[in-house]
Structure 1
Amino acid sequence: MIPGVPDLSALWGTKAPAAPGRPSAPADGMDPADDAALNEVRRLLGNSLSMAGGPMEVAGRLRAALAQAQPTLFATLPGGPVAQVEQLAEGLTWLIHHVDQPPALVAGFGRLGMALAECGVAPQQLQLAGAALAEAMRAGMAAHGWRQDFDQAWRSTWQHAYEWIAHGMAAGRYQPMTWAAVVLSHELRREDLAVLRVRPYLPMPYLPGQFARVQVAEQPEVWRPYSLAGTPSQDNTFELHVRAKSWGGVSGALVHRSKPGDKIRVARAEGGMTLPGNQRELLLIAGDTGVAPLKALITELAVTGDPRPATLFWAALTPAELYDIDDIARIAAAAPQVSVVPVLTGGELDVLVETVASYGDWSGHEVFLAGPPQMLAVTGTALLQSGVPPHHLHYDTPE
């Protein structure tokens, strides 16, 4: 052990979370000493990454080193060199933002392992990645800038990440890539928006807040991502909230031509916008069909008896656009710790920002954003400026 670097094996072990409804551990669901130790790891990783030139520079050096050591590795992965460097940079940033959230780390690297296995990557091809990452960091620093505690923090972090990736690769061999599913019900809530209830024929693993790509029979070559508004702890069904900009495409087929009994295919669940293992209070902000993944989160709170308070703001132009408010109000009624605040913006995002701010200080909350890109940008920026730490801000932008 290096003095000042926590033992990550103890912190990222297999502690069981408190049972729903029972008193949780202090503050973040962990002992205060563990929480402080993981914050120290995040500080070491973040500071060293900045000193080494930032995520993009380090990712560029890392890809070059791995490509030289494993010439076939990147040939099996999607995208060209530029896109792959960008993905590596995003991964480094995500790691630092989530290093103090062990459940998110385990789940995220497990999903990465499944995705890499689908691309044909073998675990042994990643064995050198930890050393290559440490070297990519060291090479970007001034002389004597690379410290022993930096090296220990990165190598230990990668050791655990590699194990979780390998477990994900192994699990991926026994899990289908897609599931056949049937449409149980189809409700046209607006002219351009429908809510479909779907049931896979076989149990499909996912976490509340995730999304999955969907294929319809009339366009078998196209897969379109939609959030899964449901929780696996219910009846193996979930909702798809679909808005169609036209009569064509997957969305057009689901909104305008789908009916009960239709068959669709659903790919593996993706995304990291899931409930964290800590017990921080939750701030949820939705726009339009972005309410779907947040509905899944409050449903999980209600079903499991999770006691943490949650406040959901749902922004809409008019009352008619609050297409699912009755069902969301029903869920909130079953979970007294959940509050729902409809916000009629009239198209002005400042109204949403001001309304959220008027409810108090959110800097200690875990924040989840889902909706149109402009809403994500405006509300995310405002929350960061108000003191919400970047690693407490969660959103997915599936392509």
Structure 2
Amino acid sequence: MSVSDPHLLALLRAIRLRQSAPDAAAAGEADTAAALSEIARNQTARKKKEAQVAEQADAGTPPYFSKHRAAEEDTPRGGSAGLLWRGDPSAVMGRANLRNARSAIPPIGGITPSGPTTPVPPIPALEGVRPPEPPGTDFPPQLPPRSFPSRRPRTSGPVRRAAGRDGMDPADDAALRDIQRNLSTSITFAGGVEDVAERLWNALHQAQPALLSSLPGTAPTQRADLARALTWLVHHLADPPAVVSGCARLGAVLAECGLQWNRLQLVGAALAEATRAGMPPGSWRQDFDQAWRWAWQHTYEWIVHGGTLVAYQPTIWDVEVVSHEQRREDLAVIGLRSLLPMPFRPGQFARFEVPEIPGVWRPYSLAGAPHRDEYIELHVRAKSETGVSGTLVHHTRRGARLRMTRAEGDMGLPDSRGILMIAGDTGVAPMKAMLAELAARGDTRQTVLLWSVRDQTELYDIDALTELAARVPGATVIPVVAEEPSGPYMSGPITDAVTTYGDWSRYEIYLAGPPQMLAKTTAALLRLGVKPDQMHYDPPE
């Protein structure tokens, strides 16, 4: 049934009015008769127009104009082709009443009687009145009810989860434990982890000497690092998240050391060989060989992955406090050991964070020999018991853990020229690192350290500095005490000592200390003819 046909709508309206209002029967009959008469009249007019179109086609009139002319004639002269009832179905209103109420109810389409009317397109005529269809066919048939999967009823028992750890299959956990057992057993048969690490270091030193030379430390410290690494790997192999995290951090550290990844490709085979070489004849098994090669392949992948992250995030080292000496009430010398290789040049500094104040980093110069061992020394003076410095001096004890960033600073030992070091207060820490490096190298060049302090009690590290200078043939340590009594040491301001000890134009000069001391000393050196590019210091923060 077409709901856009005005004639059928008129019939439906008449039937609806007849059912809802008995006194509207006459109006319904009039509507019905009018609708039927319009249907018959339209059919006769349509047949007549079809005949005219055929005659015009035979006479040569274009069909386009004849079609639109016929459409114009189909449109009633008095207005639109029909009206829809928009009121209450129970109201009594026939065609005559609609004609009288035309000013009150506008036609459909938003056209107001007083405004301009938009032409209504022609409505095609009906071919004939269709008999009423059986009940129930006026609307589309109902769709079959949709079936949804039944929801599993809740049970009061606990939900069972997979037995594997971190989403792994239980069979994978069992395989990891088997590999872990083979690694541990093979190390035991090979004489222990220290013997395996020593043979591994010897093999790498012979096959890849550049690999070991890029890492800090001497041969004994590197062997100890390898032994700790093997122990850690065997203990954590059955815990994949720990292996991934640890290898990624190691990769970041190796990248900071400048290690090239292709030098690590032979480590797996060297591991298997270092283990096999320590076993009695006939005790080496194929599953031992496969376990070592498999373990190294996966370890190598995560090490390289961690190394690639250095370009996107800062590298952080965990360090352990191995000594804490309160040299003065407000000053402490703190010994640290890095848990992973820590590369730095003598004279550089790093930023440290204490657990008590997370997110706050403070710079401190690094005293120690980076190419000798993993020992790092901090000289910290605190004005109060709060803050990072106050925590390090007054509240940090042996065994505590700190975090540090990569080393920074442009200070470093020159290749061949003489060296003048000028330090004030705890600025002697980077100078101590350079002295230790000269002692480790056996360097014989002329080196002078001027250490400026306020009084003799501030010479908190004079014994260690004197011992280091004794191991460097051309080194001299000269304390300069500003206030009397100066005892056996030189007295007066540091600028007087700089001008007293001759010509420094052929020396590389390194300065560290309070900002006021740096400003006065650099000005004095410029007056002595020292060029600015000969002076090296890190800007104070």
- TM-score band w.r.t. shorter chain: 0.5 to 0.7
Moved more, 175-184 or 250-259: 175-184
2:462 corresponding residue in structure 1: 325
Distance 1:172 1:310, change over 3 A: farther
Of 358, 375, 382 in structure 1, the residue corresponding to residue 524 of structure 2 is 382
Structure 1 residue 262: Cα displacement = 0.3
2:411 corresponding residue in structure 1: 273
CA RMSD for the aligned pairs?
2.5
Moved more, 344-353 or 180-189: 344-353
Asked which structure has the greater RCO (Cα within 8 Å, sep 6+), the reply is 1
> 3-state SS of the aligned residue for 2:452?
strand
Is 1:393 aligned with 2:531? no
Structure 1 residue 311: Cα displacement = 0.1
Is 1:368 aligned with 2:505? no
Structure 1 residue 276: Cα displacement = 2.2
> 3-state SS of the aligned residue for 1:259?
coil
Distance 1:373 1:398, change over 3 A: closer
Q: What pairs with 1:264-343 in structure 2 (closer than 5 Å)?
A: 264-277=402-415, 279-343=416-480
Question: What percent identity do the matched residue pairs reach?
Answer: 54
> 3-state SS of the aligned residue for 2:341?
coil
1:351 corresponding residue in structure 2: 493
Q: Is the 8 A contact 2:355 2:402 kept in 1?
A: yes
Task: Give the counterpart letter for 1:378 in structure 2.
Answer: K
1:204 corresponding residue in structure 2: 342
> 3-state SS of the aligned residue for 2:493?
helix
1:186 corresponding residue in structure 2: 324
Q: What pairs with 1:1-399 in structure 2 (closer than 5 Å)?
A: 172-173=310-311, 177-277=315-415, 279-346=416-483, 351-399=493-541
Q: Is the 8 A contact 1:225 1:398 kept in 2?
A: no
Q: Is the 8 A contact 2:379 2:426 kept in 1?
A: yes
The 2-side partners of 1:190 and 1:320 are apart by 8
The 1-side partners of 2:495 and 2:506 are apart by 17
Task: Give the counterpart letter for 1:374 in structure 2.
Answer: Q
The 2-side partners of 1:171 and 1:207 are apart by 23
Structure 1 portions without partners, runs of 5+: 1-113, 119-168
The 2-side partners of 1:175 and 1:322 are apart by 40
Q: Deviations along 1:324-357, whole A, 9 cap, x unmatched?
A: 0000000011112110000011299962111221
Structure 1 residue 170: Cα displacement = 7.3
Task: Give the counterpart letter for 1:339 in structure 2.
Answer: T
Distance 1:363 1:267, change over 3 A: same
Higher normalized strand content (fraction of residues)? 1
> 3-state SS of the aligned residue for 2:358?
coil
Structure 1 residue 172: Cα displacement = 3.8
Structure ID, larger Rg: 2
Structure 2 portions without partners, runs of 5+: 1-251, 257-306, 485-489
Task: Give the counterpart letter for 2:494 in structure 1.
Answer: L
The 2-side partners of 1:172 and 1:297 are apart by 28
Task: Give the counterpart letter for 1:388 in structure 2.
Answer: V
Q: Is the 8 A contact 2:423 2:512 kept in 1?
A: yes
Q: Is the 8 A contact 1:192 1:243 kept in 2?
A: yes
Task: Give the counterpart letter for 1:258 in structure 2.
Answer: T
Distance 1:355 1:398, change over 3 A: closer
2:145 corresponding residue in structure 1: none
> 3-state SS of the aligned residue for 2:373?
coil
The 1-side partners of 2:492 and 2:527 are apart by 14
The 2-side partners of 1:301 and 1:310 are apart by 9
TM-score w.r.t. length of structure 2: 0.41
Task: Give the counterpart letter for 2:533 in structure 1.
Answer: H
Task: Give the counterpart letter for 1:276 in structure 2.
Answer: P
